[in-house]
Amino acid sequence: MGAADGTDSAGFVLTGGQSRRMGRDKALLTADGFSLVERVAARVRAVAGSVTLIGAPERYQSLGLPVAADLIERCGPLGGVYTALHMTGADWNLIVACDMPDATEELLAELLRAARERDAVCLAAETNHGLHPLCAVYHRRALAAVESAIARKSLKMHDLLSGLQAIRWPVRDALLLRNVNTPAEWEAARGPQSHP
C-alpha cells in the first residue's frame, strides 16, 4: 500500500477501544446495511487511495477489508497510530477513528491536501471542542516520536501532537467530527447518513 503502489498516501481507520459506553462494539453498529466502520473506511479509501482497519482481525475480517492487529497492545489510540506508521509505505497517512460517521470525504481530502502543501509531520482537525488527533494526517517521519512516546509510556494523543508541533486545521462545523460513544449519540448520528 502507499508508496509501493505508486501513491504517496494511505488511509487507516482505528476500530476503537472497549466501547463501554455503547455496550457493544460501536465499529459494527449498522444503519442502512453498512456498519459504522465501513462508512468511515469507504470515505478514507476514496480520499487516501487505500484503507486498512487497525484492530482485531478476528472481529473485522468478515467485512472484506484489510485488517491489521495492533503491534503493541494496551497503548490505546497511540498503539493504533504506531501500527499504521510502522506498516505504511506512504509518506502521508490519513488516520481516522471509526466513530466519526459525519466526517465527509471533502473534509478528509482537505486535511490530506493541507498536510502535503505544508509538509506537516502532523496536521489535525480542530473544532471549538478542541483538537482531534484521530482525524489527522501523519507523515511517516512521525514514527520515531510515536515510538519514543510509547517507550516513555506517554500515551496521551494530545501530548504526542504537542511534541510533533502538529498543525491545527480549523473545521467550522463541529458536527462533522462528533464521536459516537453512546446509543443516544448513535441514534442522533445515523439519521441523515444513508450510505458510506
Q: Given a cut of 80, is residue 32 above it in pLDDT?
A: no
- Sorted by sequence, the CB contacts under 8 Å of residue 126 that are 6+ apart come out as 132, 168, 169, 170, 171
- The confidence score (pLDDT) of residue 195 equals 43
At which residue does the C-alpha cell 497511540 appear?
Answer: 78
Domain boundaries, the chain: 2-188
> Average pLDDT, stretch 80-88?
97
Q: What is the DSSP string of 14-45?
A: E--S--TTTTS-GGG-EETTEEHHHHHHHHHH
d(CA 179, CA 77): 14
CATH of domain 2-188: 3.90.550.10
- The confidence score (pLDDT) of residue 151 equals 96
Q: Given a cut of 50, is residue 2 above it in pLDDT?
A: no
CA atoms within a 13 Å half-sphere pointing along the CA-CB vector of 86: 14
Q: Given a cut of 70, is residue 1 above it in pLDDT?
A: no
> Average pLDDT, stretch 75-91?
97
- The confidence score (pLDDT) of residue 96 equals 98
- The confidence score (pLDDT) of residue 20 equals 57
Q: Order across the sheet with 92-97: list the strands.
A: 67-68, 52-54, 9-14, 92-97, 130-139, 122-127, 167-170
Q: pLDDT tens digit string along 97-132?
A: 999 989 999 999 999 999 999 999 999 999 999 999
> Average pLDDT, stretch 60-72?
95
